[in-house]
Structure 1
Amino acid sequence: MTADPTAESPFFRNRLRTIVQATTDLAPLKAVATKAIQLAEDERSAAMDLATVISSDQALTARLLKLSNSAYYGYARRISNVREAVILLGMRTVRSVAISTAIIDALRLPQLEGSRFDQDLFWAHSVTVGIIAEVIARETRVARSEDAFTAGVLHDIGKLAMMLAEPAAFAEVIDLVETEGMKYRDAEFAVFGFGHELVGSRLAARWKFPEPLVSAIQAHHQPVAAIESMSDIVAAANLMANREGLAAGFDYTHEPERRPAAAVPPACDLAVGKVHGGIATLEEKARAFLTHVTSRPPRWYRPHHGEDEGAELPAEETPAA
């Protein structure tokens, strides 16, 4: 696991605590997500308890049913309510989708004007990592695939927490990357004294996510020699997404030669290789997921189907409150 640079520094420790607190104050998680997380840890909870919790939120219910009835899952029969979704898709799948959707809602922030940090591409990367992690987990059976998906979606949330809590300092990070050519994580340490993986893990712990997910967020930049834990799965999925040019925010590049080379355990490439169409299929699944669970179609890395190769991505809009 990544070392905690705040352990010996009261200043950095207080700064980290302030960022996490500010994020929970400024972008509070919906009660339905908090309850869903708690249900995940309560083995006595019945699947119908989860259906009742999710059904109490009309907006979340509508998005879940929209996704459930789409080609993303491909069920022939129509799913008309959350209880049917839980029965057909499974409790863990529905819970994972509900939690991920609620957190995307909470942390989908306005685009910083003039910045190359593109939040649509941030979420495109995050969901792609989640879907790759889900596939690796399902194939290796090292972790539950639904939990790996959630961990993958949330692995970079520390970046948004830092931007939300300290926008001026975050802008300094961007400036160091864009004008000085500094690597993103080096710029984070130069400005904040710690990286987004530590912020994200502390935020996940504050939200009372289980320890394996918290650890996966904190360790997602660690080298991966073998797939032995959910942390290994998420770190490998992150490397694979970056390797394909499906990186977060301003890390994205159209130029293959500028993308990072990334060696991952053979089991990861084997798992993804079993998916018809490979990474390209998983990227399309990520796009479909975001299209169905958010209020507008997401901007994306490259044209989709018949879209014009030279067309610009649609302008960023401020998310509805």
Structure 2
Amino acid sequence: MTEQTIEINLSNNKKEKPNPDQLSFGKVFTDHMFTVSYSEGKGWHEPKVTPYQPITLDPASMVFHYGQTVFEGLKAYLANDGRILLFRPKKNLERLNLSNQRLCIPTIDEELVLSGLKKLLEVDKEWIPNAPGTSLYIRPFIIPTEAFLGVAPSNHYQFMIILSPVGSYYKEGINPVKIYVEDQYVRAVSGGTGKAKTGGNYAASLKAQEGATSRGFSQVLWLDGVEKKYIEEVGSMNIFFKINGEVVTPALNESILEGVTRNSVLQLLKYWEIPVSERKISIEEVFESYSKGLVEEAFGTGTAAVISPVGELSWRGENIVINNGETGTIAKKLYDTLTGIQKGDVTDYFDWTISVDVK
């Protein structure tokens, strides 16, 4: 793609910024957003930073009817020395285009998106919170905008990035959460859209999550969609177990999303020479290993929560308490290291962070 100039239109009506010590997740949005349009025959064009505003769509816009949408999630952090840091944004943009390919959406120039994101962060830099545990959540997404009720890929799309200052995703923070093992509903199946980050996967999860919440659990542990036997994800995160000294996570397949945090955790564990493997792991294996005293800890990994320790699992009426319901040593070390790298407080030996130059 030829280099495109990013137009910048600044807002005249600045919003009041929230108290950084009282932030929840995803409820407050900054003053500006980044957009790029797509038209068949013209490609992606008109990149611009504009005031955050509602969008107007025809009721027949395909986004409302067929779910041909993709999104991503990453964060910007304010380092103690004042730098704005992004954590592995190119991995997110690579995954965005993989999702695009699965949903028949035209791939977008990753360098253009990264340039637009940097411009957006430069404009809204004062929105990045600095309180402990806070960050600026970045939500890129694409919707089809063509007004057409035929079942086919759209010929017109809108790419957008919006920003939201956030606190901890779970109110428990780094403290262990209670998880319900779901064996009725499934999140995704092999051959479906499970490895793409698309809205339908999350809509499909809501019914099970509703049931888990009503039972007093924070999240759902998903099993495979065929045998309902093998562990896949926990909520919208990847899952890890430490069993008999080895850290185990489900191997990637067509129904598991390849998490950026998951990838980072695997690299850190190998760097620390902690035994780790990616393989099929059944829920029966976890409960049987627990009965033998071999399950040492468990945790979920994802952009929103970073590391979320699992303190309790419930499956078919049987509850197991992992590590006495306390945060495990590996989960804590991973959390401290990842958040330290993200904030610029821990040496980044992997060159994961990108510093955003602002004027």
**Greater C-alpha radius of gyration:** 2
Structure in which a larger fraction of residues adopt helix? 1
TM-score w.r.t. length of structure 1: 0.28
TM-score under structure 2 normalisation? Answer: 0.26
By percentage of residues, which structure has more strand?
A: 2
Of structures 1 and 2, the one with the larger relative CO (CA 8 A, separation 6+) is 1
